[in-house]
Chain A
Amino acid sequence: MRVVIAEDAAVLRELLALMLTDRGHEVCAAVGDADALRAAVTEHRPDVAVVDIRMPPTHTDEGLRAAIDIRQDCPGTGVLLFSQYIETKYARRLLAAGSAGVGYLLKDRVANVAEFTEALNRVADGGTALDPEVVTQLAGAARRTEDLESLTARERQVLALMAEGRSNAAIAQALVVSAGTVEKHVAAVFGKLNLPASEDANRRVLAVLRYLGA
């Protein structure tokens, strides 16, 4: 996996590069601000970029804006945003253009190196990785519709894990149940949300969008 890192704190930038190199990934560039990030992505066309949201000069959302541009200009590059706080507004802006190849994690998650690289892999492959915090906040802000209310607690838990971007196998692992049980729950979710099987639409994505109120 070829990676570009954009993070203004040098300590973390170097440690991330070290960790990814350690695991056999190629770090093409490690930069400290959004302009350098755009340049590095254009030059290296990496599989994925790890981007801090708050970077100089304004320390607000330059990372997010760069991420949205990158998704538009270089669709082959996934973007994993991370920051010390989860902002619902930022999550919405990021997901507005689609959930493929994007991720948004709390910075603390890098402390679990294995999970972090797993999320990074998912984003690089065009998948999604949303922090549980993002999912909770978006779902909390969403309008609770009747069909969502009819889900059982377990079904909602499965749906939340789906929203984080996990596969059925990963959900089974997280909940310590069999893959069959997860499939049963997922089918129940589709049924209650009134999503019949069809070739035109991905029911999984539709269910998650409904859940997040997008």
Chain B
Amino acid sequence: MRDTHTGAARLPGVLRAPLTRRAWWEAAYCLAGFPLALVGFVLVVVLLALGAGLTVSLVGAVLGLLFVVVSTGLARALAAAHRGLAANLLGERVAPPPQLRPTGRVFARLDARLRDAAGWRSVAYVLAKLPVAAVQWYALTWWVTGLLNLSAPLRWAVFAQRPHPGQEGMPTITPIPAGGGAPHSTSFAGTFVAAAIGAATLLAAPWVTRGIVAVDRWLVRALLGPGELAQRVRNLEETRALAVDDSAALLRRLERDLHDGAQVRLVALAMSLDMARERLGADGEPVADPDRLRRLIETAHTNATEALTELRDLSRGIHPPVLDDGLPDALATLAARSTVPVELAVDIPERPTPAIETIAYFCAAELLTNVIKHSGARRVVLRASLEEGLLRLRVTDDGRGGATVGAGSGLTGLVQRVRTVDGTLDITSPQGGPTSVTVSLPPHA
């Protein structure tokens, strides 16, 4: 097994083509597609023809329309099967169109099914698939005849397949009809001519297959997908879910911070004040243990100050007040607070909307935190500018690199957050650095 692989690897690409996994999968796809295409084509055409024929007469119209509706539904099911084949054998993964679930009265539902664009695109695919599948089966004959001819010497010598006396000789089969031109092997030596033709055919077979499969791929993408609008809707649904998750996570974090921080401090404050009051005793009584009392009041004071600090940090985490003065000021504050020196370059002539400013600010804060925590960088460059109608935020550091999305780096959260406003996050971070992260946001969202 290993030998064939290394042997194959040494051959130039063109010669290697018949041995590639891709060629075999494509051939398998051609083989599997045709029966489904044929059955599907016949069923859909018959149903459509029945439907169309009946619709001509007023009486048959309802029945005819029902046939049409059934045919689009059937085409959707066939399309699903073709999508599965394309995904499993070709790796051509296309998202299915949204399910059709019409509601309302009977006629409204019928109308919706008749106007089912995805259903009609499925019909178009099923109709177009038959000729394509026929060509795909023809492409398979290149493989079959190639193998047959290639094995001619073997058949002659080992299996003793020889022409009977009086016959023309063992025929050479070619995928392209050669009339009487195809040579007939009349001797063992002659079979090598057939073998050479077979080898040539086999070398060509993957390219023939690939060509017709390419046409099919194009059809699959164009006709079996969800359609542009549905794709956009799907995308929006996904990003909306992200936005909801994002805000839910934020609220959860806030609750945790309050629960573990300020709330505990305030309970402790109230408790030490109550203990201090008990210690004071009734009116006019001398205080028994003034030192103890002082310590209780000091504890109360510490807890009050700590609660204030925690609340301030918390509210800054929700909305940093400096952001009200615009992104440049906010980024300057952020840069000033960083423990790694930050070179700041901001050129934003026009103010983005507040939501975008907030996202950009938190991205910058998170990216700077990442630099400080993980990169070991000695300096950072933070640029923010309006380019090509996008707000671009770029954080570059001279650290050790190797940052990836998903490695618990907090970058995953950022990607999700910027996606909620159709933004993007690009990262280049080779091992050994430098790391550069670019966040692009639409300035008005």
Interface of chain B: mostly helix, strand, loop or mixed: helix
Complex alpha-carbon distance, A113 and B272, angstroms? 9
> Is A12's beta carbon under 8 Å from chain B?
yes
Whether B278 lies near A113 (C-beta < 8 A) is: yes
A5 to chain B, nearest CB (A): 13
- A 106-148 binary contact with B (CB < 8 Å = 1; else 0): 0110111110000000000000000000000000000000000
Kindly list chain B residues whose C-beta atoms are within 8 Å of the C-beta of A166: none
Residues of A within 8 A of B264 (CB): 9, 11-12
Given contacts A59-B256, A114-B278, A84 and B263 within 8 Å (CB-CB) = yes
Please report the total number of B residues contacting A with Cβ < 8 Å.
17
B271 & A111 in contact (Cβ 8 Å cutoff): yes
Q: Is the CB of B9 closer than 8 A to any CB of chain A?
A: no
Residue of A at shortest CB range from B296? A18
A136: min CB distance to chain B, Å: 21
Q: How many whole Å from B431's CB to the nearest CB in chain A?
A: 34
- In the complex, the chain B residue whose C-beta lies closest to that of A9 is B264
A110 cross-chain contacts in B, Cβ below 8 A: 267, 270-271
Specify the main secondary structure of chain A where it touches its partner: helix
Nearest-neighbour CB distance to chain A for B289, whole angstroms, equals 10
CB closest residue in chain B, given A112: B274
Q: Which residues of chain A come closer than 8 Å to B272, judged between CB atoms?
A: 15
Complex contacts, B240 vs chain A, CB 8 Å: none
- Whole-angstrom CA separation of A114 from B277 in the bound complex: 11
Q: Collect the chain B residues with CB atoms within 8 Å of residue A59's CB.
A: 256
Question: Which residues of B are in contact with A by a Cβ distance under 8 Å?
Answer: 256, 259-260, 263-265, 267-268, 270-275, 278, 299, 303
Interchain residue pairs A-B with the least CB separation, the first 3: A111-B270, A9-B264, A113-B274
Chosen A-B contacts, 21 in total, with CB atoms closer than 8 Å, are: A8-B260, A11-B268, A12-B267, A12-B268, A12-B271, A15-B268, A15-B272, A16-B271, A19-B275, A22-B275, A84-B263, A110-B267, A110-B271, A111-B267, A111-B274, A112-B274, A113-B271, A113-B275, A113-B278, A114-B274, A114-B278
Could you list 10 further interchain pairs (A-B, Cβ under 8 angstroms) beyond the known A111-B271, A112-B274, A113-B274? A11-B265, A15-B268, A84-B259, A107-B263, A107-B267, A108-B270, A110-B271, A111-B270, A113-B275, A113-B278
